[in-house]
Chains A and B, each alone.
Chain A
């Protein structure tokens, strides 16, 4: 088996047993990237030389019996997370050539634990989108069907994991941006509770909603990286002081007697039939494993998506004001004054989806519309939060689909800006309430054999319970998930 196909669990076992070297694994990964990434286009930037040199150092350390926790684990990073000395663009023309002078906290923690950053992955520009088609530089293809999108915004990371171009990856999730692409690419991804992982060094768009998420081939892999990057960070005032448990231990227990709520609003007529079938199959399996299943209602859910979109766009319009062409990034200045430089730089530096969202965000924040849109949306957020609190009094976890549809065709939703929003219908309420959730592959649609993601949502800081259920289900679905995308092109 080529070493790029290893899970993180197997990688660490083999490294600890001195069966493989970090350098060998990296070489297999870069061979895979050389072979397929001209087609799949997961990566925007490769850190090949530095990564190989780091791997040699780690291998030497291990020879001296000094094994760091991640033992040279190769990690791919979404390109909206700052990596010191390595180009970071958020897939935007306005940041082309930007090299951050510092590492995001998660990058520092990965490096300190002996992990190796292998490159930066593609995304929808500034993480705004659901398909990766909004990247200013390239469109990533879905490894399962190259005529389809990998999902977004963190589609490059999802495709890289699915195509064995890395062992694990980081993405960001503002309204579903690790869970949706995980669902589309047949992998697993966790969006932790707001505050669990430091956001310092993320090129922020919607600061009250977004979290760094982990995307991998298996549930234990997610738990291993959660252990490394979670925990309080004084550089992020929204990071939580809550202690970090050993997430890996949570995968040891069964799910007998846990109570699961199935929100009926997640099974509306918008849900694709093929997706619904697979999600219901998994719910039945959870029931067979001893879980207690009951239908529940989240009565304000129909207002979650418009309220989420208003808040996300308002925050984005404010956050993206810093890209002004002065201290870094693109500057277009042919003649004229400062105002004209701003207009030209921002007008041509941002892509259409980003401009649309900045305009909408600016509109809902103007004094005439603030109360009707922005303030109202924040009040609805209180109701959404309350809905979740009410159901979690009775249930341990909620289960439903991650996406209403399987991966769609490239270009299919290009001219439908509203469709970019609607795909987040089941994932964005989770961000509104700051909850943790996971997407795990639960099979493939009967007709077109496209991956389907099951979403498991928990109360704040209950990631252990989510991982525990996801791991049990993963063992149940082992046979179904042993299929790999055909990458023989």
Chain B
């Protein structure tokens, strides 16, 4: 049996962080699969990278700033037109509290 890195409880916790609702069967399924993939990821631990700097982006992202000019934005009716849940020119959301 392969080493267990994550449990169903861990998967439940991660899913909550990622805001993805999972039932018990899904937690069980994903914990097994995620475990296998994490074992594959663990291969990178063999390599000593202590003195190596990370590369977060390839190339040099152009640090160009736009001129500070007022430009038209998406009209409100179009921005709101992509959801059925709107009211009085606002997005409608369920209660937060």
Measured CB to CB, the residues of A under 8 A from B are: 98-99, 101, 193-195, 208-209, 232, 234, 237-241, 300, 302-303, 306-307, 309-310, 317, 321, 324, 326-329, 331, 333, 336-344, 346-348, 350, 355-356, 358-360, 362-364, 366, 372-373, 375-383, 385, 417-418, 421, 432-434, 460
Contacts and interface: CB of A to CB of B under 8 A. Distances in A.
B82 interface: yes
Contacts of A328: 82-83
Interface in B1-54: 6, 10-11, 14-15, 17-22, 26, 30, 33-34, 36-38, 40-41, 43-47, 49, 52-54
Contacts of B22: 347, 355
A356 to B, nearest CB: 6
Given A101-B78, A359-B34, A377 B19 contact: no
B85 A363 contact: no
B58 interface: yes
A327 B53 contact: no
Contact of B94 (A321, A329, A341): A341
Contact of B21 (A337, A344, A363): A344
A439 B57 CA distance: 24
Contacts of B30: 355-356, 359
A239 B61 CA distance: 7
Contacts of B64: 234, 237
25 contacts: A99-B82, A209-B58, A238-B57, A300-B47, A307-B44, A309-B40, A326-B83, A331-B84, A331-B85, A337-B96, A342-B19, A346-B18, A346-B20, A346-B21, A348-B21, A356-B37, A360-B34, A362-B14, A363-B34, A379-B53, A380-B44, A381-B55, A382-B54, A418-B36, A432-B58
Given A356-B34, A366-B17, A382-B54, A306 B59 contact: no
Contact of A417 (B17, B37, B59): B37
A101 B82 contact: yes
Contacts of A339: 19
A356 B33 contact: yes
B53 to A, nearest CB: 6
Contacts of A376: 44-45, 47, 49
Contact of B18 (A237, A362, A433): A362
B95 interface: yes
Given A336-B94, A359-B14, A417 B36 contact: yes
Contacts of A375: 54
| Majority SS at the chain A contact face | helix
Contacts, number: 171
Contacts of A337: 94-97
B91 A382 contact: no
Contacts of B57: 208, 238
B70 interface: no
Interface of B: 6, 10-11, 14-15, 17-22, 26, 30, 33-34, 36-38, 40-41, 43-47, 49, 52-59, 61-64, 66, 74, 78-79, 81-85, 91, 93-97
A338 B93 contact: yes
A240 B62 CA distance: 7
B41 A310 contact: yes
Nearest to B18: A362
A101 B91 contact: no
Q: Name the residue among B6, B66, B93 with the largest chain A CB count within 10 angstroms.
A: B93
Given A101-B78, A343-B21, A362-B17, 18 more contacts: A101-B82, A195-B59, A238-B59, A239-B62, A309-B40, A326-B91, A343-B20, A356-B33, A360-B34, A363-B14, A364-B41, A376-B49, A378-B55, A381-B54, A382-B55, A383-B52, A432-B58, A460-B59
Contacts of A356: 30, 33-34, 37
B54 A433 contact: no
A359 B33 CA distance: 11
A268 to B, nearest CB: 14
Q: Name the residue among B22, B36, B57, B66 with the largest chain A CB count within 10 angstroms.
A: B57
Q: Which 10 A-B pairs give the minimum distances between C-beta atoms?
A: A434-B58, A343-B21, A347-B21, A378-B54, A328-B82, A379-B49, A379-B52, A342-B19, A362-B18, A194-B58
Contacts of A362: 14, 17-18
A317 B14 CA distance: 11
Contact of B62 (A237, A327, A343, A382): A237
Contact of A333 (B33, B47, B81, B94): B94
Contacts of B58: 194-195, 208-209, 385, 432-434
Given A237-B64, A343-B21, A418 B37 contact: yes
A292 to B, nearest CB: 28
B42 to A, nearest CB: 8
